[in-house]
Amino acid sequence: QTENRNTYFALFPSILGIYYLIINLIEVNIGKINIEDIQFLTIIVLFILSFGIYMNIIYS
């Protein structure tokens, strides 16, 4: 049961980060986004991914 919880804590933020990354790439290709927005969203994506790794370490 604990292994399932660890997998959940690790996968959910990672899936969220990948989702934001794909959305950002689509918007960049369309041309709706500035360079500053790309930098800000990259920081958010990296924070979400690192949070997932952190939760996986804490609950392992």
Task: Give the mean pLDDT of the chain.
Answer: 73
Q: What's the average model confidence in pLDDT over 20-44?
A: 74
Radius of gyration of the chain (CA): 14
Residue whose token pair is 């950002």: 24
**pLDDT at site 44:** 79
Query: 38: which 2 tokens?
Result: 């790309």
Q: What's the average model confidence in pLDDT over 32-50?
A: 74
Query: 4: which 2 tokens?
Result: 């399932």
**pLDDT at site 34:** 67
Torsion (CA) 19, 20, 21, 27 in degrees, nearest 10: 110
User: What total of structural domains would you count in the chain?
Assistant: 1
Q: Which helix or strand (DSSP H or E) is residue 59 part of?
A: none
CA 16-21-24 angle, to 5 degrees, is 125
Q: What's the average model confidence in pLDDT over 28-45?
A: 73
Q: Which range of residues forms the domain containing residue 46?
A: 2-58
**pLDDT at site 2:** 58
**pLDDT at site 7:** 67
